[in-house]
Amino acid sequence: MISLRKAGERGHFNHGWLDTWHTFSFADYYDPEQMGFASLRVINEDRVAPGRGFAPHSHRDMEIITYILEGALEHKDSLGNGDAHGRASVAGGRRPGATSVIRPGDVQRMSAGTGVTHSEYNPSKTEPVHLLQIWIMPDKTGVVPSYEQKHYTEQERASRLRLIASADGRDGSVTIHQNASVYAALLGANNTLTHPLAPGRQAYIHVTRGALNVNGHLLSAGDGAKLAAEPEVRLSQAKQAEVLLFDLT
């Protein structure tokens, strides 16, 4: 069974400094039919104006992934990331206290666990930042908060599904507290990819740019598709497409 989530059907708010689209219910957008999909709870597509950002705010018991499409985003948190005093150690080889700026190709993972406060800011004076903020429900609560940031080149994501997040951190992916796998791909016209789904698994596809065919359905930028009781995900007929694939329980 395949259910499409078209870009224009999403919740939309333009606050001036923030232009945001919500795939699932979030903040002032509420749709009882769109409360998430399996363990996937939030996909927000945000455009943040130059020099603006999100003031410090808190989360707990959530796996938060940030994926940058254009521009850059500066991150600071109560764990010490982005703090000149460097209170915390950081996974992924970045030195404690280094400014956490994420750019296209970077994947940032923050496990909120027992609680973390963070801020996000567009450091550019001229260019907006375009990003996806993704929330995945954890399979355990009350974990120690942690942070991870890794880079995946265009070559790594070209013509293949590159694993960027998983429960065990395999293949150099960031580690999340959930039995879920997240893949990123950059696809052209000659690419046809198949991703098998194990029995009981579901998938969500989100197209970030371009267009492609997903199991016989044409999707364009901002569109999504829920796949349940399907043996596989088939991606084909791409037109300069960038896509995220979520393999979920």
Q: What is the pLDDT along the chain (249 residues), one digit of tens a residue?
A: 999 999 999 999 999 999 999 999 999 999 999 999 999 999 999 999 999 999 999 999 999 999 999 999 999 999 988 864 433 333 333 334 345 899 999 999 999 999 999 999 999 999 999 999 999 999 999 999 999 999 999 999 999 999 999 999 999 999 999 999 999 999 998 899 999 999 999 999 999 999 999 999 999 999 999 999 999 999 999 999 999 999 999
Burial of 180 (0-12, 13-18, 19+ CB in 10 A): buried
Domain ranges of the chain: 2-248
Dist CA 17 CA 204 (whole Å): 29
Question: What pLDDT does residue 95 have?
Answer: 37
* Nearest of 233, 226, 248, 139 to residue 187 by alpha carbon: 233
Instruction: List, in order, residues 6 or more apart from 170 with CB less than 8 Å away.
Output: 163
SS3 label, residue 155: helix
Question: What pLDDT does residue 83 have?
Answer: 60
Amino acid at 223: D
Q: Which helix (H) or strand (E) holds 120?
A: strand 116-121
Dist CA 7 CA 163 (whole Å): 24
In CATH terms, is domain 2-248 a member of 1.10.10.10?
no
